[in-house]
Structure 1
Amino acid sequence: AHFLQMFLREFKTESELRDLLEQETKELPDCPENIFLENAIRLKLEGVSTNTETEIFGFPASDCRYIFFVEHGEDVYPVIHVRQPLYGHRAGELDESAKLIIERFKEHFLKHSQILVVGDKRCTDTFVHHLSSSLNFTAVHKQEQIPEFYMTAAQREQVINTNVQVPEGFKFDAIDVDKEADTIYPLWVVEKEFTINRLRHLPSICIRTNEGELAGWAMSTFYGTVSHLYVFPQFRQNGLGNALQLAQAAQYAKKGARPSLYVSPGNTVVYKRFSNSPFWTLWTESDEDRKEILNYTEFVVFRPADE
């Protein structure tokens, strides 16, 4: 029985995915782990097409406490998103499952110059260790303990029913991917093809001047996160950022998804704004022993340049 557990279990069929969604979101439905899990599974069930494939695995196979979402494609670097157990890690299982994920996707990983690993610090440290020892990847960038804001059911209803306004002289518009990807991707931390894939296949929005000049935009991830919110410096202090994030969140909420976003506490002005927003709720955990488990750490892992 112990031997049989040391395999990854893949979730592929509609019934398998629905059962996983029901089982894993019974407790703490608003925690970051469950919001991304629900959004990702629902997108997969809806058959949303992108230039990447997201495969879902659990470990141990007989009682999946770790769930892995591995997004990969020919032109887009891989993303490993770890949904860890809500009530504490099991070091041996995490270690073994990380090795199995790396072995299964080794060929995909070696085709690309970087990998993004998302999880809490324990998860990402484990992957950094094994990616280094087995594939000679090294972690070169990290963002630690980024709190998540989410929308309650009432807030999702509120944003759906809100007519988000832009200041006079500006208008909402769709991003012209063919013309504007070259403007957008250098202002993010990811590759061009990754940016294009998100823009083409997932909700995004921009604001322009009435003359058509691009002023700012917001994108999203496969997990329902409002991401890469950016306003050009010359257009800031006009409320464009607030309008963009609400309009983008409304797009997801109207689809039945659960919008969320991450804001670094170091960005004090923005963090305070979201903390006081009637549309967003900061995920908190009163049990201090579980606090670290529910914090996120993100690593972008690059292959050494001389490889």
Structure 2
Amino acid sequence: CREHIIIWPNPHITIVEEQFNDFLKFIHSKSNFSPLLYPTHLYFMNEEQQKLVNELELKLPKGYRFDEVDPTNDANIINQTWRHASDGDLQQTTEKLKCLPSAIIRYAVSFEMSDPMGAHNHLYTLDEHRRKGLGTTVELRLSQKCIKFQQNALLLLSNIAIFNNNN
């Protein structure tokens, strides 16, 4: 199952994390606004990595298959599994699925979508389907779609929350 995954020697790089965090603290110290901050790591793919990912033939374990997202039917489970969902987000999730690249393994057991800023958003695999490489594979599938969607993309971005675990 894992023979199709490329492991780069240095697959990611942390870019200006400290400066960004310091800037946010400064901005928040000057106002009464105090959002709940979730530390994240920002990942990106350079052109060489994009080319390698685009050439991958993605394989799924037996019994799983890729499909196109059906916004009407899939938005609900995608929205329900999003930690940050609140009132009104179901409609927003539906619109993202209609308009932006997304990837799904049926029957909505693993999925990821794009956000309007162009980053990957809400990678999720249902608990009973974890530890099978589905999350990695669906993320690579979305990366391939984004590369094709953007034609000459300079960067593919993904924000990964530090508190996430891979149970």
Q: Normalization by structure 2: what TM-score?
A: 0.74
Residue in structure 2 matching 1:122, options 4, 12, 23? 23
Q: Structure 1 residues 231, 185: closer, same or farther in 2, change over 3 A?
A: same
**Count of matched residue positions in the alignment of Structure 1 and Structure 2:** 146
Q: Superposition pairs for residues 177-192 of structure 1, below 5 Å?
A: 177-188=71-82, 189-190=84-85, 191-192=89-90
Shift of 1:153: 1.1
2: CA distance between counterparts of 1:228 and 1:155? 22
Distance change >3 Å, CA 195–CA 227, structure 1 → 2: same
Partner of 1:141: 36
Q: Output the CA distance in 1 between the equivalents of 2:25 and 2:66.
A: 38
What TM-score does the superposition give when structure 1 sets the normalisation length?
0.42
Cα 1:269–1:229, aligned 2, differ >3 Å: closer, same or farther? closer
The question of whether the paired residues in 1 share the 8 Å contact of 2:103 and 2:139 is answered with no
Alpha-carbon displacement from aligned partner over 1:113-141 (angstroms, at most 9, x marks no partner): xxxxxx644246526744x4xxxxx4342
**Cα RMSD (Å):** 2.6
TM superposition shift of 1:31: 8.2
Q: Percent same amino acid among aligned pairs?
A: 22
* AA matched with 1:260: L
What's the secondary structure of 2:34's corresponding residue? Answer: strand
Matched, 1:262 2:159: yes
Measured after TM superposition, the shift of residue 264 of structure 1 is 3.6
> Which residue in 2 is equivalent to 1:73?
none
Larger RCO (CA within 8 A; separation ≥ 6) = 2
Compared CA separation, residues 141 and 153, structure 1 to 2 (3 A):
same
**Inter-partner Cα distance in structure 1 for 2:44 and 2:90:** 28
For 1:264 and 1:160, locate their aligned partners in 2 and report how far apart those are by CA, in whole Å: 25
Corresponding residue for residue 219 of structure 1: 113
- 1:263 offset after TM fit, Å? 2.3
Matches of 1:223 and 1:252 in 2, distance apart?
A: 12
Q: Secondary structure at the match of 2:158?
A: strand
Separation (CA, whole Å) in 2 of partners of 1:31 and 1:218: 22
- The reply on whether 1:197 has 2:95 as its aligned counterpart is yes
Q: Secondary structure at the match of 1:141?
A: coil
Number of the residue aligned with 1:176: 70
Flag the 1:125–1:179 CA change in 2: closer, same or farther, 3 A: farther
Q: Spell out, residue by residue over 1:65-116, the C-alpha distance to the aligned partner (whole angstroms, 9 max, x if none).
A: xxxxxxxxxxxxxxxxxxxxxxx8xxxxxxxxxxxxxxxxxxxxxxxxxxxx
**Which consecutive unaligned segments of at least 5 residues does structure 2 have?**
1-12
Q: What's the counterpart of residue 48 of structure 2?
A: 154
The aligned runs of 1:76-115 (5 Å cut-off) are none
Q: Which residue of 1 aligns with 2:59?
A: 165
C-alpha separation between the residues in 1 aligned to 2:91 and 2:25?
24
Q: Is the 8 A contact 2:79 2:90 kept in 1?
A: yes
1:125–1:175: structure 2 CA closer, same or farther, 3 Å change rule? farther
Letter of the 1:242 partner, please give it. Answer: T
